Structure 1
């Protein structure tokens, strides 16, 4: 076994002994499994109306209660997790692709560093949610446009991380040797640079996942997210505002779903950061 593999296994064992990471992983697995198996585990159809049963408090028939149209809150929360995970995965994929392209270009090619850095600075000068709202307003509200808007919004975060790591790696002896030997630029980037950027990209992608999930809920809460036909945690919170005093469960359970999901991703991200950070590895 190589030294790198042994170090990774040791770090993985240390990670699995962290109760916070285990709790985050357990919550995330529960959310993912519920979303994937939504038609099987949800007791009712998410949009099934039953005016006779509107605003019922939690009971055996409706563990999370019902909303103002008699729809089952538990079923809607489970199906809303599907939308949230779908959006977040799309945002992570798009922002990672854009962030890696911009970050590597800025860090490896010195002539592109200044213009790309100014572009990233300009994008990051706007609050994330305001930039996302502006992009959704320009493109029109839908599932696809929310993914595109949030992917563009969070791409600068990954780009800055990738740029900083690329600037360091570009000066490493093996990169300089590969350039000196005349290897094609694409081969240097793929074989010698991107492989060494995998760890910081993975860690940052975890935090982007959590941020995208929270941003999607915020956009839906403001009414500029996905179609209202789709149940989302944000729209459930928005519709429950009018009944905050008389039927608090309309906001409590969707809010808890958001908090639990985002918290689980933050805990996992912290654990992964500890695992891949060389300074923390040495301290162990």
Structure 2
């Protein structure tokens, strides 16, 4: 385990990203401890107050404590991104395995995947949320459908290579069942690209949720995600820059940390990169 962590964190930027991400996760998990104020408690007389000792990050247009909203918003934003990443990885892996292992199903499945990927992610997400309706569950479902094809293409490409290897042929020769081959021989050799794709989709989902909320088709405004904070306060940015600065920084730091950490995982797991190093 120590050797794995050493390889992963040999680049300082990856270590810094992991520390930043860990701090954000701790804040999200302990939101009620680190920010005891109610994120939805309004105080109109305190609206648009600058950062101070009383309000560390200032207040928004309704006088709500921005620090409490950013900290509690981390819980919602990270939850949406995590559920999206898990759902996309599970369904994308299943679709990719079937398409890559069964030759007859490859063409029809991948044509559907290609058709879905022909649309820009945000446009497809907007269309799906418009059909399903704006709610937290529907936003997650829409984002899972948007990012599942990404995972499916990567898994399918890797499966095409793994299924031709000798140990898979040997398992077939001794009469192993297809399900056994997929679970015990193919899937373990796909964990590297799956983990990398999962980390990237986690970051993409945070940005996508913020984009949907900014356009008014994301989660309901009463749910304090980072995206709804930016969307609800954008018209006051010229008078109180902090109302969009701090939620925006939270989005940027989290997404960037996830991307850099994903790059570190990819570099660690990629045998060609390890050989070059």
| TM surpasses 0.5 | yes
| Residue matched to 1:100 | 93
Output the CA distance in 2 between the equivalents of 1:208 and 1:163: 17
| Residue matched to 1:280 | 273
Output the CA distance in 2 between the equivalents of 1:140 and 1:222: 14
Question: What runs of 5+ residues in structure 2 fail to find an aligned partner?
Answer: none
SS of 2:57's partner is coil
Instruction: Please state how far the C-alpha of 1:15 moved relative to its aligned partner.
Output: 2.1
Output the CA distance in 2 between the equivalents of 1:274 and 1:280: 6
SS of 1:77's partner is helix
| Residue matched to 1:44 | 37
| Residue matched to 1:147 | 140
Asked if 1:226 corresponds to 2:232, the answer is: no
**Which stretch shows the higher mean deviation, 203-212 or 236-245?**
236-245
Q: Does the aligned pair in 2 maintain the 1:207–1:269 contact within 8 Å?
A: yes
| Residue matched to 1:202 | 195
TM-superposition CA deviations, 1:224-255 (whole Å, max 9, x none) = 11122111111111122211211111111011
SS of 1:187's partner is helix
TM-superposition CA deviations, 1:42-100 (whole Å, max 9, x none) = 14210011111111011111111101110011110111111111111110111111101
Output the CA distance in 2 between the equivalents of 1:139 and 1:238: 21
The TM-score with structure 2 as length reference comes to: 0.98
Instruction: Please state how far the C-alpha of 1:10 moved relative to its aligned partner.
Output: 4.3
Regions of 4+ moved over 3 Å: 8-12
- Sort the Cα spacing of 1:43 and 1:57 in 2 relative to 1 into closer, same or farther, 3 A: farther
Output the CA distance in 2 between the equivalents of 1:219 and 1:167: 35
| Residue matched to 2:82 | 89
5 Å matches for 1:1-284? 10=3, 12-284=5-277
Instruction: Please state how far the C-alpha of 1:17 moved relative to its aligned partner.
Output: 2.5
Q: Does the aligned pair in 2 maintain the 1:103–1:161 contact within 8 Å?
A: yes
SS of 2:70's partner is helix
Q: Does the aligned pair in 2 maintain the 1:28–1:261 contact within 8 Å?
A: yes
Q: Does the aligned pair in 2 maintain the 1:240–1:248 contact within 8 Å?
A: no
- Sort the Cα spacing of 1:179 and 1:280 in 2 relative to 1 into closer, same or farther, 3 A: same
Instruction: Please state how far the C-alpha of 1:271 moved relative to its aligned partner.
Output: 0.1
TM-superposition CA deviations, 1:167-208 (whole Å, max 9, x none) = 000110000111121100000000001111111101110000
Question: What runs of 5+ residues in structure 1 fail to find an aligned partner?
Answer: 1-7
Instruction: Please state how far the C-alpha of 1:11 moved relative to its aligned partner.
Output: 5.1
User: In the comparison of the two structures, how many residue pairs are matched?
Assistant: 277
Output the CA distance in 2 between the equivalents of 1:110 and 1:145: 33
Output the CA distance in 2 between the equivalents of 1:85 and 1:120: 27
